[in-house]
Structure 1
């Protein structure tokens, strides 16, 4: 595909193409993702959004609206447009359909969320959601509510493959699957898990392909080693050497001192 995918492009390819998707934390990660063929990205709406947009101009970027940021539909619309103006192509929102519908009516592409939703986890705990028939129906109902509110995309996180498949086949929304097998329209992971920058818990669905945390520990040790060597050289008088210094000529120094005394 030439250029940046649009909502229309994604929805037109539904059922015919599986997309790779990655949550990234920096412009470097965004650039690497695009070079690797990953053109659907998500990120936080913090200081990293603009660098990510600049580094990945051909990617579809969904930036999150912090949960609890807005308390009225009008605020949701205002904040949604702010996120788009900063470079996002869609606004991730885990708020209720009440807020999502307001943004969607104004043409703001919104990404909703069903299944294991961290911001709503007090109601489910951090576990697979939808394994029983009744709970699966609740997840499906929430997906339908988001669809009716006008969501363009919906993140489907840690639900049974069968449920994710049913939702994907019965909605025009782009389903962004995390921990749902290969049932959704995108295969979605976080860069911190893929690259191994995560130093905490790795969820069951995560796949680690590098150990950047170990590399960072090694890099930090080298930083400390270099700075200790610098400090030791200063203490011993080995630094600075003459080659590190700049001196005035005798004539310039004499002229400076004669005038400095007058100040």
Structure 2
């Protein structure tokens, strides 16, 4: 599973055989999205802090499913999850380190490292299952805890982000895999987290392309200043007789 931000990443995920993706609403709503990624099972959503009332959330979720999403992220209460699920919205919850609720779990750090916290993660997974969710992201939870919880769940699929290989799917951000600082700016994240892995160095490629941009712009400026651009091959000339007729029709200067 990948978190993607661009049409190009969606197309690459489809071609690479990725099964699951999480994408921002504006990307899923882009008509090109399903053209380039027809089989990519796609999650989209908003933080519960942005979604409005339960009915607002339901209405918006329906619009996103019609736009091409397959399931809807919900980081809100179990009542909210149940409200959506009762209307047959495929809901994906979030447990462990949930950015929009990080203040409740001690900040941006691993969750479930002691028995009491691990039990809270387990109970939240059970609650999501009972509320009708189809899956949950489980983020930065010790792998032994995540694996045991996943083994005990009957209907809830667990998607691991930094929680080991014992869940039902692995989830990383495409920008981390690609070492892509451009998309890190889009997401608001400026570093590669410990649980991720960098497979390519797009930062170096972006730097190389930027050098090429500067070089091309400089050559263009120098060509203009020296009179080398435009050259004859860049121009569209009139036929000589038309040019003469035009000149003859001009008033005297």
User: Secondary structure at 2:150's aligned position in 1?
Assistant: helix
Query: For 2:127, which of 135, 145, 148 is the aligned residue?
Result: 145
Normalising by structure 2, we get a TM-score of 0.88
Q: Distance in 2 between matches of 1:97 and 1:76?
A: 14
1:7-45: per-residue Cα shift (whole Å, max 9, x none)?
Answer: xxxxxxxxxxxxxx1111222222222322211111111
Contact 1:44 1:63 in 2 (8 A): yes
Task: Summarize the alignment of residues 111-150 of structure 1 with structure 2, pairs less than 5 Å apart.
Answer: 111-124=92-105, 125-150=107-132
Task: Summarize the alignment of residues 40-189 of structure 1 with structure 2, pairs less than 5 Å apart.
Answer: 40-47=20-27, 49-50=29-30, 51-124=32-105, 125-171=107-153, 172-189=155-172
Q: Structure 1 residue 164: deviation in Å?
A: 0.8
User: Secondary structure at 2:64's aligned position in 1?
Assistant: helix
Distance change (3 Å), C-alpha of 1:108 and 1:255: farther
Query: For 1:216, which of 197, 206, 212 is the aligned residue?
Result: 206
1:131-190: per-residue Cα shift (whole Å, max 9, x none)?
Answer: 111111211222222222211110001101122112212221111011111111001111
Contact 1:175 1:185 in 2 (8 A): yes
Q: Structure 1 residue 232: deviation in Å?
A: 1.0
Q: Using the TM superposition, name which of 89-98 and 196-205 deviates more.
A: 196-205
Q: Distance in 2 between matches of 1:48 and 1:102?
A: 23
Task: Summarize the alignment of residues 182-201 of structure 1 with structure 2, pairs less than 5 Å apart.
Answer: 182-198=165-181, 200-201=190-191
Contact 1:43 1:49 in 2 (8 A): no
Distance change (3 Å), C-alpha of 1:167 and 1:259: farther
Contact 1:97 1:145 in 2 (8 A): yes
Contact 1:26 1:52 in 2 (8 A): no
* CA RMSD of superposed structures (Å): 1.9
User: Secondary structure at 2:42's aligned position in 1?
Assistant: strand
Tell whether 2:217 aligns with 1:227: yes
Contact 1:27 1:53 in 2 (8 A): no
Q: Structure 1 residue 243: deviation in Å?
A: 1.0
Tell me the equivalent position of 1:6: none
Normalising by structure 1, we get a TM-score of 0.85
Q: Where does structure 1 lack aligned partners over 5 or more consecutive residues? A: 1-20
Decide which structure has greater helix share. 2
Tell me the equivalent position of 1:205: 195
**RCO (CA 8 Å, sep 6+): is it higher in 1 or 2?**
1
Q: Structure 1 residue 256: deviation in Å?
A: 4.6
Q: Where does structure 2 lack aligned partners over 5 or more consecutive residues? A: 185-189
